């Protein structure tokens, strides 16, 4: 005999074989019919507990909608192709999201149905990634990508909960920064003088532009009269094979230097799709305007005159991308070429080895050491939050010493 719960939407009854059953109305299906969920158990008390739990999930909006639930691998790939591109740039998807999904997440948990993922599945995956030698930062990024994809599944009503919320994210501590000292920065600029694109390193050390921002700087965004630049970035879209057999194509184009079956060099495919240079807004989502130091304005004026001379020599072979820093034929400088030039400059100047990104750290540190307000430094560097900029304050110990000396003079002199 069926018994209805007080809310009138649920019922509990015992069938002829002695099994207890519970039915809960949780909403409406896409076709307009009632969405009723079934629970069963050996006793009335057991089924009642299940029914109450289902009602609580319904009332809190934690139940997935009725219908087919995809496998984790299916959902992740669909998320990459149709959902993530609406809020993330192609470079982020291809360099961060897709590698994490295809190389690590799907091989470990892709075989589970999305709603049957358990926290222990995620824990086991992170342990395996540690054994595989992934850094704590890479594992944390994997966690963040999975969390974002599952959060969207919840918003779409496919999942009732996001299991990554029940797993402690991997710990990652940012490595200690090692900015160059002002003397080292000065030696680098002296060593760069007279070299092609010498102003590239002045821009790095004085303004702290990211690599893609410096290589994407265009003359149309340089205002010599006002002494300002508008910062965007240059990047290359993901290259894909346009031929019928990517493996054969790659081996034919790269007989030396590629392992058998290599498909990583799609940019060499004669029928390549993508792989084009494009200008986009910088990391953080919006372009920013930066004031230039007067000596840098003069250096950029000299650099433009030298580039105009190169253009005249190149003639019709000049590739006009309006780039401030370009190769001798006007074409873009790749990130690898730029990195190699930086390493060569370090050796030429006799400066210790440093990452190219350390030039950005150096600019931030020097600005703070000159007493520039931290919010102004945040704007110059294009940090999304002030918390990121505050990472640099620990390296300005002599500012703390100066503050202590000022307090001493105020109270005791």
For residue 112, the domain's CATH number is 1.10.150.130
Task: Give the model's confidence band at 404: pLDDT under 50 very low, under 70 low, under 90 confident, else very high.
Answer: confident
What pLDDT, on the 0 to 100 scale, is given for residue 291? 92
What pLDDT, on the 0 to 100 scale, is given for residue 412? 80
In a domain, residue 322? The reply is no
For 241-291, write each residue's pLDDT tens digit. 566 555 555 544 444 444 444 444 555 566 666 567 777 777 766 788 999
In a domain, residue 297? The reply is no
What pLDDT, on the 0 to 100 scale, is given for residue 120? 94
Measured over the CA atoms of residue 307, residue 326, residue 202 and residue 284, the dihedral's sign is positive
Boundary residue ending a domain (135, 166, 197): 166
Residues 15 and 82 in one domain: no
In a domain, residue 41? The reply is yes
Boundary residue ending a domain (166, 190, 222): 166
In a domain, residue 108? The reply is yes
CB proximity list for 26: less than 8 A, separation 6 or greater: 35, 36, 37, 54, 58, 63
**Phi, then psi, of 258 in degrees rounded to 5:** -120, 140
Q: Is the pLDDT of residue 86 over 90?
A: no
Return mean pLDDT, the chain: 83
Residues paired with 35 in a beta bridge: 27
Question: How many domains does one find in the chain?
Answer: 3
Q: Is the pTM of this model over 0.85?
A: no
Rounded to an integer, the average pLDDT of 286-304 is: 92
CB proximity list for 329: less than 8 A, separation 6 or greater: 314, 317, 318, 319
Residues 15 and 49 in one domain: yes
Residues 44 and 127 in one domain: no
Rounded to whole angstroms, the Cα distance separating 351 from 182 reads 12
Residues 108 and 129 in one domain: yes
Task: Give the model's confidence band at 63: pLDDT under 50 very low, under 70 low, under 90 confident, else very high.
Answer: low
Boundary residue ending a domain (166, 198, 215): 166
Q: Which domain holds residue 97?
A: 72-166
The strand pair at 233-236 and 228-231 is best described as unpaired
Residues 86 and 148 in one domain: yes
In a domain, residue 307? The reply is no
For 408: left if phi > 0, alpha if psi spans -120 to 50, otherwise beta; the answer is alpha
In a domain, residue 25? The reply is yes
Residues 109 and 132 in one domain: yes
Say how many C-beta atoms besides its own lie within 10 A of residue 127's C-beta. 12
Residues 77 and 30 in one domain: no
Residues 55 and 95 in one domain: no
In a domain, residue 409? The reply is no
Which tokens sit at 372?
A: 């520039």
Residues 162 and 108 in one domain: yes
Question: pLDDT higher for 52 or 262?
Answer: 52
Say how many C-beta atoms besides its own lie within 10 A of residue 275's C-beta. 14
Residues 83 and 141 in one domain: yes
Q: Is the pLDDT of residue 363 over 80?
A: yes
**Phi, then psi, of 236 in degrees rounded to 5:** -110, 130
For 164-174, write each residue's pLDDT tens digit. 999 888 787 76
For 122-145, write each residue's pLDDT tens digit. 999 999 999 998 888 899 999 999
For 308-345, write each residue's pLDDT tens digit. 999 999 999 999 999 999 999 999 999 899 999 999 99
């Amino acid at each position: 005999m069926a018994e209805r719960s007080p809310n009138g939407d649920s019922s509990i009854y015992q069938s002829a074989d002695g099994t207890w059953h519970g039915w809960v109305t949780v909403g409406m299906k896409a076709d307009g019919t009632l969405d009723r969920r079934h629970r069963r158990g050996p006793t009335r008390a057991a089924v009642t507990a299940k029914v109450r739990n289902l009602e609580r999930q319904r009332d809190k909006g934690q139940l997935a909608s009725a219908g087919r639930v995809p496998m984790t691998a299916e959902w992740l790939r669909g998320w990459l192709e149709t959902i993530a591109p609406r809020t993330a740039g192609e470079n982020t998807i291809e360099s961060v999201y897709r590698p994490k999904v295809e190389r690590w997440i799907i091989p470990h948990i892709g075989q589970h149905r999305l709603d049957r993922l358990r926290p222990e599945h995620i824990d086991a995956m992170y342990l395996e990634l540690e054994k595989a030698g992934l850094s704590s930062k890479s594992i944390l990024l994997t966690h963040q990508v999975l969390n974002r994809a599952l959060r969207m599944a919840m918003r779409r009503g496919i999942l009732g909960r996001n299991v990554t919320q029940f797993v402690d994210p991997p710990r990652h501590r940012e490595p200690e920064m090692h900015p160059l000292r002002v003397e080292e920065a000065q030696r680098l600029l002296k060593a760069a003088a007279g070299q092609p694109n010498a102003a590239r390193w002045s821009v790095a050390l004085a303004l702290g532009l990211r690599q893609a921002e410096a290589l994407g700087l265009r003359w149309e965004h340089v205002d010599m009269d006002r002494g300002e630049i508008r910062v965007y970035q240059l990047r290359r879209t993901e290259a894909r094979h346009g031929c019928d057999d990517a493996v054969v194509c790659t081996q034919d184009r790269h007989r030396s230097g590629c392992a058998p079956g290599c498909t990583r060099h799609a940019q060499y495919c004669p029928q390549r799709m993508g792989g084009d240079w494009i200008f986009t807004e910088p990391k953080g989502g919006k372009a920013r305007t930066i004031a230039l130091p007067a000596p840098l304005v003069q250096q950029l004026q000299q650099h433009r005159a030298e580039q105009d001379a190169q253009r005249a020599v190149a003639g019709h072979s000049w590739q006009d991308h309006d780039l401030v820093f370009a190769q001798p034929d006007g074409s873009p400088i790749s990130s690898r070429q730029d990195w190699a030039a930086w390493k060569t400059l370090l050796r030429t100047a006799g400066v210790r080895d440093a990452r190219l990104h350390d030039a950005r750290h150096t600019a931030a540190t020097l600005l703070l050491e000159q007493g520039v307000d931290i919010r102004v430094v945040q704007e110059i560097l294009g940090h999304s939050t002030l918390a990121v900029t505050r990472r640099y304050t620990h390296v300005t110990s002599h500012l703390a010493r100066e503050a202590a000396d000022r307090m001493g003079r105020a109270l005791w002199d």
